[in-house]
Structure 1
Amino acid sequence: MRIGAHVEPADPLAEAAARGADVVQFFLTDPQAWTDPEPRADADALRAADVDLYIHAPYRINVATLNNRIRIPSRKLLLSHARAAADLGAKGLIVHGGHVDKGHDVATGFENWKKTFEYAAKEGGFPLPILVENTAGGDNACARRFDALARLWDTIGEYGAGFCLDTCHAFAGGEELLGIVDRVKAITGRIDLIHANDSRDPFDSGRDRHDNLGRGTIDPELIVAVIRAAGAPAVVETPGGAEGQGADITLLRDGLAA
């Protein structure tokens, strides 16, 4: 099982070495900006590295919303980041499931996700797997509760969408971690990546605040069990830089080896 961390984007390979990581995830731009990625000077090194790469799409992307001023740019930005990620040899582009505004029918959000894949297909298709990530909060979210996730997958599953399971988001979103891999795979048929995060907040809080493993409200053995059951690579998105994340990576490796 390959284990790694979400790192700062300036020198991902050095960050991976500092943590002893097999996998790195990073942003290609400011995650709060509507910015297309620029070519990277280290592109050749990233493509040649033994470290597996995953790219996280900007947080601003919400392809589900009914707001045209957000939805249309989101589609274009998602495709732009997918192309840039594929050029670096990334194994997937992670994007949050998104939501519709209060008072709107979430079913429209699912259809907008379908239109996102249709838009990409007209532009030549996504060049790498798009990994939809479950989210922690929002009553109108497309990928918080698994009943909504099932409706989303009924709409986009045919397009080959992948799935990223975040343990903090699931726990804070009200989904029990015990047996979660079987429940997810019954819906999506796959788990491509685990975001192995503890939660600062209690179960079903709806709050997305990550913590280092064993310091929050989730039993770290449950997180290890999720990774083992999924058989997927895992990335910690936890605080503490190389020291804190390195300790989390060691905890996961030790737990998986036990």
Structure 2
Amino acid sequence: MPRLGVHVSSAGSIINTFERAKQVGAEVFQFFLRSPRAWKAKDISPEEVETFKKLKKSWDYIMVHAPYLLNLASQDDSLRKKSVEVFLEELKLCDLLGVDYYNFHPGTAKGISDEEGIRNIIRSLEEVFSTYTPKHTCVLFENTAGEKGDLGKNFEELKKLIEPFKDLKVGVCIDTCHAFAYGYAINTAEGFNAFKKEAESTVGIESIKAVHCNDSKVPLGGKKDRHEHIGLGYMGTQAFRLFLKDPYFSNLPYYLETPKEDDWDRKNLQTLRSIL
């Protein structure tokens, strides 16, 4: 059975994430270690670390999402260097906390070709992994929606990014909204099967470790990252039925990143459970 969960706020303390996830009925959860749009990290005390590790023993598949500011593909050396530093800092902390997955958007090729951007991402990650090899935390490359400069938008690009690190703890997190917005027709049986077949022939289906579970505010191939509540966007409920009932995808953790409005986290979880 899939584990269903949400993205929760870590405001106040990372310890608060557990109770916030519990309150909406989540079985797994994701959070940010810092504001997603800020370079500066909040201080985390040794006491918080120890408390987090104790609470973590009762939870599986906790994921941390990297800040949006990171761009490992950048041709701007100072931005790329800063991105590597923050990535490394957060990865070390994730490993210390016992976090299962560290998820990130591969990067944006601004002013350069996609090929050069991919080379920059690989070079950046070589710097990270040559400095630190995680013992527990698995690094997940998230597929993107295909907006201008987006890298990791399809399985061919994800394969190029993952291949140099296949002997390390790396994998893929599929964002359903991004996949649909890029052009994968995952809301039909035929499109979903083609999507899965492409995954199998490129990155390998076993490399997919988690799913960001979001409907889309843009139509198929709209190439914009706009999340919607489950069943209320262009994807409808069929895409989620196909994922949740699939022999492989039914064993993965799912994380909602839908708009934070009223009691919608709980409602979206109920929708997914009704599909199951």
* TM-score for both structures, normalised by structure 2: 0.85
Name the CA shift for 1:90/1:37 in 2 (closer, same or farther; >3 Å). farther
Correspondent of 2:52 among 46, 55, 64? 46
Query: Is 1:21 matched with 2:36?
Result: no
Map residues 1-258 of structure 1 onto 2, 5 A cutoff.
Answer: 1-10=2-11, 11-36=16-41, 38-39=43-44, 42-49=48-55, 50-52=58-60, 53-102=62-111, 104-127=112-135, 128-177=137-186, 178-179=192-193, 180-189=195-204, 190-229=207-246, 230=249, 231-241=251-261, 243-256=263-276
Deviation at 1:170, TM superposition (A): 0.7
Aligned length: 255
1:227-257: per-residue Cα shift (whole Å, max 9, x none)?
A: 443221000001245721111112222322x
8 Å contact from structure 1 (residues 134, 164) kept in 2: yes
1:192-221: per-residue Cα shift (whole Å, max 9, x none)?
A: 110000011111111111111011111222
1:146-174: per-residue Cα shift (whole Å, max 9, x none)?
A: 33233333444454421100000111112
Name the CA shift for 1:158/1:51 in 2 (closer, same or farther; >3 Å). closer
Distance 1:23 1:241 in 2: 20
Instruction: Specify the code of the residue in structure 2 equivalent to 1:16.
Output: A
Distance 2:88 2:175 in 1: 23
5+ residue gaps, structure 2, are 187-191
Deviation at 1:37, TM superposition (A): 5.1
Q: Secondary structure at the match of 1:59?
A: coil
Deviation at 1:139, TM superposition (A): 4.1
Deviation at 1:117, TM superposition (A): 2.8
Distance 1:86 1:100 in 2: 29
8 Å contact from structure 1 (residues 63, 116) kept in 2: yes
Distance 1:7 1:238 in 2: 11
Name the CA shift for 1:186/1:37 in 2 (closer, same or farther; >3 Å). farther
Instruction: Specify the code of the residue in structure 2 equivalent to 1:34.
Output: W
* TM-score for both structures, normalised by structure 1: 0.90
8 Å contact from structure 1 (residues 26, 56) kept in 2: yes
1:17-51: per-residue Cα shift (whole Å, max 9, x none)?
A: 11111111000101111124531554334323323
Which stretch of the first structure deviates more once superposed, 138-147 or 170-179?
138-147
Question: What is the percent sequence identity of the aligned residues?
Answer: 28
Distance 1:42 1:253 in 2: 33
1:47-73: per-residue Cα shift (whole Å, max 9, x none)?
A: 233233110000011111222121111
Name the CA shift for 1:110/1:160 in 2 (closer, same or farther; >3 Å). farther
Q: Secondary structure at the match of 1:188?
A: coil
Distance 1:185 1:163 in 2: 12
Instruction: Specify the code of the residue in structure 1 equivalent to 2:269.
Output: I
8 Å contact from structure 2 (residues 217, 228) kept in 1: yes
Name the CA shift for 1:120/1:150 in 2 (closer, same or farther; >3 Å). closer
Distance 1:255 1:96 in 2: 29
